[in-house]
Amino acid sequence: MDEISLITTEDGSHTLFHSTFNTSYHSRFGAVTESLHVYIQAGLFHFMSENPDILSVRILEMGFGTGLNAMLSMDVARRQKIQMEYEAVEAYPVPVDKATQFNYLRFSETDLRSYHAMHAGAWGKALNLNDYFTLTKHLSKMEDWHSDKKFDVIYYDAFGPETQPHLWEHTLMQKMFNFLKNGGLLVTFCAKGSFKRCLRDVGFEVEALKGPPGKREITRALKR
Binding site for ligand SAM (CB under 6 A): 25, 63-66, 68-69, 89-92, 141-143, 157-159, 164, 167
Closest CB 167 distance from ligand SAM, rounded Å = 6
Q: Which is nearer to ligand SAM, 92 or 132 (CB)?
A: 92
Closest CB 162 distance from ligand SAM, rounded Å = 12
What residues pair up with 88 in beta bridges, in sequence order?
61, 137
Question: What count of residues does the chain have?
Answer: 224
Report the SS3 class of residue 70: helix
83-90/133-139 β-pairing: parallel
Using CA atoms, how far apart are residues 83 and 69, in angstroms rounded to an integer? 16
Q: Which is nearer to ligand SAM, 187 or 222 (CB)?
A: 187
Closest CB 182 distance from ligand SAM, rounded Å = 25
Secondary structure (H, E, C), 115-184: HHHHHHCCCCCEEEEECCEEEEEEECCHHHCCCCCCEEEEEECCCCCCCCHHHHCHHHHHHHHHHEEEEE
> Dihedrals φ, ψ of 162, to 5°?
-75, -25
Closest CB 74 distance from ligand SAM, rounded Å = 13
Q: Which is nearer to ligand SAM, 159 or 195 (CB)?
A: 159
Q: Which is nearer to ligand SAM, 54 or 120 (CB)?
A: 120
Q: Which is nearer to ligand SAM, 76 or 91 (CB)?
A: 91
Closest CB 163 distance from ligand SAM, rounded Å = 9
What residues pair up with 186 in beta bridges, in sequence order?
154, 221
